[in-house]
Structure 1
């Protein structure tokens, strides 16, 4: 159980991080359009 929760939590954090990075890239691109 503990091991499963650890894996789940790790995946959750990784997904969250990836979403945040993607969001930041989108926001940055909108502010400073890449030519």
Structure 2
């Protein structure tokens, strides 16, 4: 379950990065994922 959550967050981060195409937002999202 925990592994699934990490994978989901990773995909979500990539989706946000592609949608907005903003490195800052992507970095912030990935940082949040790493914290969790």
TM interval, short-chain normalised = 0.5 to 0.7
Gaps of at least 5 residues in structure 2 are 24-36
Count of residue pairs the alignment pairs up: 23
TM-score of the superposition, structure 1-length normalised? Answer: 0.59
Root-mean-square deviation (CA, aligned residues, Å) is 0.9
Gaps of at least 5 residues in structure 1 are 1-12
How does 1:1-35 map onto structure 2 within 5 Å?
Answer: 13-35=1-23
- Consecutive aligned runs of 4 or more in structure 1 exceeding 4 Å deviation: none
Higher relative contact order (CA 8 A, sep 6+): 2
TM-score of the superposition, structure 2-length normalised? Answer: 0.58
- Deviation per CA, 1:1-35: give whole Å up to 9, x if none: xxxxxxxxxxxx00000000000000010000114
